[in-house]
Structure 1
């Protein structure tokens, strides 16, 4: 008993810690790397993105300086590939604690007109700026590397760890002719003054560009475990709390309505019914009204029961994936040091939870058919193929658009094959296994501004504590709304509650889709081109379908349990 109390106390403290902070907490995603003075540091680059197109492109699709040893792709995980990341090596060369200035990187070939407006996504500095009708390029980068001393006993020389990285872009008018005979990493002949408030390097047709850089190392008090704190500290916590408290007031109001229905109306009727003898019950049956009149029809099979079971099963899978992923992220297991971990985790949990989807769908199918589990294989296959099929259709269509635009956001064909193998070898067998377990089980007897900005405007979102609270509130609201509407339908003698309970809570997806359109029109004004708008609407549709299945399942299961409880004491003669 003592150990159970201890575990309960630990769980309560953990939950309170998550709710209290709301900010990004994480566990280390990599081991500290110690460098000695003079050791070579590798600098890598990622895809180019823009909030005007939402189309990522490879870094070297623009005429930047290329590394002398050639372009080499870094090994990337599944999540990074799905996000459109393409991490490659760069020509920038740093030596630990060796300050360098006025270093020539390269002199490009004469430029030709190309569409710009790109933004370096991860480091977050612009590659150029528009002033009037002219475009100016940032061709000099001022790097500042923050390092922390790492001292160990019995070590002659202390090591250094990189704990921060800053870059200031500047536009400097170089003399292209003076750099014509220089090689990479040579000293530029003139002193370069980096002033980020002025621009000088104007882009002109048939004119080469000279790229230079400088680097300075600064000792910092930031320790290795705290190196991400500056990036993950999210502002606007008061706004999050205000929104949550506002939602709590709505939930409390809905909860009051549900309690009135359950305690004052339903429970009173059931208590009176249970206290009557059989003769009195028969007499009372003649005077029944409201929801009690549909006692013989309320559990009649709905229309399209196979589709309903498949959608409920997929909803369980999506909702379970969301809850488990956000819970792990709130507990700090999704480290920002491991890029793509969140997407990879979502995919992993979705595949594993296929067993829960199959179990719930088949058991619901068996319940609707009054214990007959024939056809459970067909139900399991529909669960395994319904939402993944929709997702595959949407992603394939969008992928053709991305392929046509030569964007890194296009999923490679090899990755498509990997995803299909994961689905066929993991998700489908687990769904069938869950369906088999559900077929053997006895049937049930009758008786949205911050996240959008993070997704589409490249802003960091790491307040998974708040997100977990909001998810819990969403589940509670969906359950309460579905209960109230189901009870109202039963009171007017409408026994067809199955689909209505699903779409009463699933209709929240319609609001999210309309909000997505509103966000596209009024907030993403810079989004340009039909391809970008189509990509945005396609991904929004994919997200909305997943939300509809998850929230609809919450409402349906809540209403099913409510109806089961409601009619458990009403005897059918």
Structure 2
């Protein structure tokens, strides 16, 4: 029985002479529907080679739970085998129970042949009663003689089908022979003969296209077409929404400007005049908790820069995004190298707002995102260690990440903060701020912060809702995401809608003479992160079959961090777009 092949780890292969040894590398094993719950391949009692040879891993592979080790399969280039024994062993009752659990939980394993991944199932559960009926439903046995109990079968024979072009391997597929399997329904010692066969097929596909072949196989034409139609539909809706909001906002602003200008020309003071002009002396009053406020802007700018750079590099194929662990590695490196942006933006904004403790602001900025991520990692890594899962990072990798943070990320953040302090200019406010704060009028319930956040978060989320399904299927499933052009377009739509909806809500707030818009702009913009986390619950219970403490904790734990990153990024976008808007409208007023 075949599980499939894919480009997740497809990389550059080697050139082989005839009869040259081709290594078969075992990677990991675990429940098919729990992608985070992975274990070492030889955690199950397969045929262990005499000399265990481990492969090197990049950082992204380690983060995804890969633990590659060379197996005892003897595969030679262009040499077919009809039958070859791997090993013959007697499984103890405890080893049989281990295989039973693996079959019950639908375990699959991943192997790599010339850096091309292949997957297969450990075994299968079969109900013998199905064999008591013909295809048309007619019974072969009396009903009382039909065994309705399920039985577990362990696959012991693998079939490798390898295609080649001259001295290069082009493709690999793996199937499990249903004829050679062992019944392990009862937990008792059993003799098992593990074996395999190899078939070679010549092909004209060039080596340069072997990865593209797997990528194209991942999306069926119909799925690909539906995907594009969905994103185009979302794009059209976003354009219509933004144009609609822009027209309304411009007309309202035009009426406001006309009314205010006429009042100035007539030099008449209207006692009942109201609107955003009346709070010009308070609208640029700096918010409370300036330290945290500026740190959020710095961390959000940093994450936005990292995300855009990763997408642009993937879009232009600067690195191979389909290579396993490539995106994680590139994202980690870019986050470290661009950390100066967080210090610069945070401290420069903090100094503009009159802050004096810029060192503490720098420290807060440096830990605002890595701090919660580290705390979540400690909890989840402890759970993974208790399960003896490969999802637990080795101590050496943890120290590597920690050293990169201490020696690269934090120093660059400090350097950016110093530059931000030196280049910080006085805050550019077109209006003078009154010494005493103006009173805030009572607001109706529908102008409350909570309801406004729901409105502000739902519209941007609806623009990327369709794309989230494909992203979740890639991260928490076995699909491979390759349409980075669509992803880039979805990100642009998300940023545009966030800007427009935040600006619109801030305008209505100012028109109601509520001048405390600084924190609200961050909350309005970042509220989409709340909807992303809500969607994660929908995906978990309605679109996936994930289960178990390890997988559930990893899923909801890391999705909480992802949603927090969304909040920081979009909150930063919401604030800067609102600041630009507020400055522009008050610059048009003639004030004494």
TM-score by length of 2: 0.81
Matches within 5 A, 1:505-520: 505-520=525-540
Corresponding residue SS for 2:281: coil
1:565 aligns with 2:584: yes
Larger relative contact order (CA 8 Å, sep ≥ 6): 1
Q: Note the C-alpha offset of 1:289.
A: 2.3
Aligned position for 2:371? 389
Aligned pairs (5 A) from 1:35-114: 35-53=16-34, 54-68=36-50, 70-111=51-92, 112=94, 113-114=97-98
Query: Which of 531, 535, 548 is equivalent to 2:554?
Result: 535
CA distance in 2, matches of 1:336, 1:559: 35
Q: How does 1:459-538 map to 2 (within 5 A)?
A: 459-524=479-544, 526-538=545-557
SS at match of 1:92: coil
Q: Does the residue aligned with 1:227 lie in a helix, a strand or coil?
A: helix
Offset at 1:142?
A: 0.8
**Shift in alpha-carbon separation, 1:387–1:141, aligned structure 2, 3 A:** same
Distance 1:261 1:355 in 2: 39
Shift of 1:356: 1.1
| Correspondence for 1:325 | 310
CA distance, structure 1, for counterparts of residue 391 and residue 416 of structure 2 = 34
CA separation of 1:443/1:25 partners in 2, compared to 1, >3 Å: closer, same or farther? farther
Check whether the contact 1:29–1:336 (CA below 8 A) recurs between aligned residues: no
Moved over 6 A (4+): none
Equivalent residue for 2:122? 127
Q: How many Å separate the matches in 2 of 1:217 and 1:570?
A: 78
**Matched-pair contact (CA < 8 Å) for 1:74–1:87:** yes
Separation of aligned partners in 2, 1:432 and 1:286: 52
Aligned to 1:255: 242
Alpha-carbon contact 2:381-2:393 (below 8 Å) kept? yes
Deviates more, 1:481-490 or 1:328-337: 328-337
- Asked if 2 retains the 8 angstrom alpha-carbon contact of 1:128 and 1:136, the reply is yes
Quote the residue 1:163 is aligned against: 170
Residue 226 of structure 1, CA deviation? 0.4
Per-residue Cα deviation, 1:28-86 (whole angstroms, up to 9, x for no partner): 964x6221111111111111132444311000001111123x22211111111111111
Instruction: Give SS of 1:124's match.
Output: strand
Given candidates 321, 324, 327, the residue that maps to 1:342 is 327
CA distance in structure 1 between the partners assigned to 2:383 and 2:520 by the alignment: 37
Give the counterpart of 1:438 among 420, 434, 439: 420
Q: What is the rounded CA distance, in whole Å, between the counterparts of 2:273 and 2:402 in structure 1?
A: 55
What residue in structure 2 maps to residue 192 of structure 1? none
Q: Within 1, Cα distance between the matches of 2:266 and 2:291?
A: 36
8 Å CA contact retained: 1:273, 1:281: no
Contact 1:172 1:200 in 2 (8 A): no
Instruction: Indicate whether 1:239 and 2:226 are aligned.
Output: yes
In 2, Cα distance between equivalents of 1:139 and 1:145: 19
Distance (whole Å) between structure 1 residues aligned to residue 126 and residue 420 of structure 2? 65
CA distance in 2, matches of 1:285, 1:344: 63
In the alignment, does 2:363 pair up with 1:356? no
Shift of the 439–268 alpha-carbon distance from structure 1 to 2, 3 Å rule, reads: farther
Distance 1:401 1:519 in 2: 23
Measured after TM superposition, the shift of residue 161 of structure 1 is 0.6
Does residue 198 of structure 2 align to residue 215 of structure 1? Answer: yes
CA drift of 1:215 comes to 0.6
Conserved? CA contact 2:529–2:566, under 8 Å: yes
The 10-residue stretch of structure 1 (286-295 or 265-274) with the greater mean CA deviation from structure 2:
265-274
Q: Look up the SS of the partner of 1:109 in the other structure.
A: strand
Q: Does the aligned pair in 2 maintain the 1:137–1:203 contact within 8 Å?
A: no
CA contact (8 A) 1:136 1:171 kept: no
Give deviations 1:214-259, integer Å, cap 9, x for gaps: 1111111111110012321223222222222232233223322442
**Within 5 Å, which residues of 2 pair with 1:438-457?**
438-441=420-423, 442-447=425-430, 448-457=468-477
Note the 1:418-433 alignment, pairs <5 A. 418-433=400-415
What root-mean-square deviation, in Å, do the aligned CA atoms of Structure 1 and Structure 2 show?
A: 2.4
In structure 1, list runs of 5 or more residues that go unmatched: 1-23, 150-159, 174-198
1: CA distance between counterparts of 2:295 and 2:566? 15
**Could you say if the C-alpha distance between residues 315 and 105 of structure 1 is closer, same or farther in structure 2, counting changes exceeding 3 Å?**
same
Does the CA-based 8 Å contact 2:314-2:321 persist in structure 1? no
- Deviation at 1:479? 0.8
- The answer as to 2:362 corresponding to 1:380 is yes
- Alignment partner, residue 137 of structure 1: 154
Using the TM superposition, name which of 109-118 and 92-101 deviates more.
109-118
Distance 1:364 1:261, change over 3 A: farther
Secondary structure of 1:252's partner? Answer: helix
- In the TM superposition, what is the alpha-carbon distance from 1:532 to its structure 2 partner? 2.5
For the Cα contact (< 8 Å) 1:399–1:411, is it kept in 2? yes
Residues 287 and 433 of structure 1, relative CA distance in 2, 3 Å threshold:
farther
Partners of 1:118 and 1:102 lie apart in 2 by 25
TM-score of the aligned structures, taking structure 1 as reference length:
0.83
Secondary structure (helix, strand or coil) at the match of 1:324 reads helix
1:544 counterpart (563, 578, 581): 563
Per-residue deviation, 1:337: 6.8
